[in-house]
């Protein structure tokens, strides 16, 4: 009986030491960190370009920024910090505030190794459950 118990504890200790030495798994979305170049289109015919930068913040949370330009004038170019950015596997969600301070743009999409695509919607920051003012699609490629 003692030999069986000793054998069990040796196997258990070996498994624990192996697990402690195993490399840590990357956090969801780490493979997508970096700079991405993209285009956006609106349902109203508007369009533009953007650069999406994804990074891990000091607290380990996903963060970054988006630099947006509008095609054909009629809008202002700006850069905003991402809020609530997250990956669940290859599914991406994030939000950011454009310069007006009264609205919020929500991004949802799917990433692959070198590309991604999804939808965006513009809504009132104070009324997140209200119908969006505008919406459209976006596509990106890894820089």
Residue 73 pLDDT level (bands cut at 50, 70, 90): low
pLDDT value of residue 15: 42
All domains in the chain, ordered by first residue = 30-142 (2.40.128.120)
Q: Taking 90 as the threshold, does the pLDDT of residue 37 lie above it?
A: yes
% of the chain exceeding 90 in pLDDT:
66
Q: What is the mean pLDDT of residues 107-119?
A: 97
pLDDT value of residue 128: 72
Q: What is the length of the chain?
A: 143
Q: What is the mean pLDDT of residues 107-118?
A: 97
Task: Say whether 7 sits in a helix, a strand or coil.
Answer: helix
Residue 127 pLDDT level (bands cut at 50, 70, 90): confident
Q: Taking 80 as the threshold, does the pLDDT of residue 40 lie above it?
A: yes
For 33, 39, 70, 85, the CA distances from 52, given in Å and listed in that order, are 10, 10, 15, 12
pLDDT value of residue 122: 95
Give the residue with greater pLDDT, 22 vs 140: 140
pTM (two decimals): 0.78
* Measured distance CA(63)–CA(52) in Å, rounded: 10
* Measured distance CA(69)–CA(143) in Å, rounded: 17
């Amino acid at each position: 009986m003692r030999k069986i118990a000793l054998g069990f504890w040796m196997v258990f200790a070996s498994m624990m030491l192996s697990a402690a030495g195993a490399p840590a798994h990357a956090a969801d979305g780490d493979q997508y960190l970096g700079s991405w170049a993209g285009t956006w289109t609106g349902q109203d015919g508007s369009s533009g370009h953007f650069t999406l930068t994804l990074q891990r913040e000091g607290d380990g949370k996903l963060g970054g920024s988006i630099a947006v330009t509008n095609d054909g004038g009629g809008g202002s170019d700006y850069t905003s910090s991402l809020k609530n950015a997250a990956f669940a596997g290859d599914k991406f969600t994030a939000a950011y505030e454009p310069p007006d301070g009264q609205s919020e743009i929500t991004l949802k999409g799917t990433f692959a190794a070198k590309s991604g695509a999804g939808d965006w919607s513009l809504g009132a920051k104070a009324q997140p459950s209200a119908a969006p003012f505008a919406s459209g699609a976006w596509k990106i490629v890894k820089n």
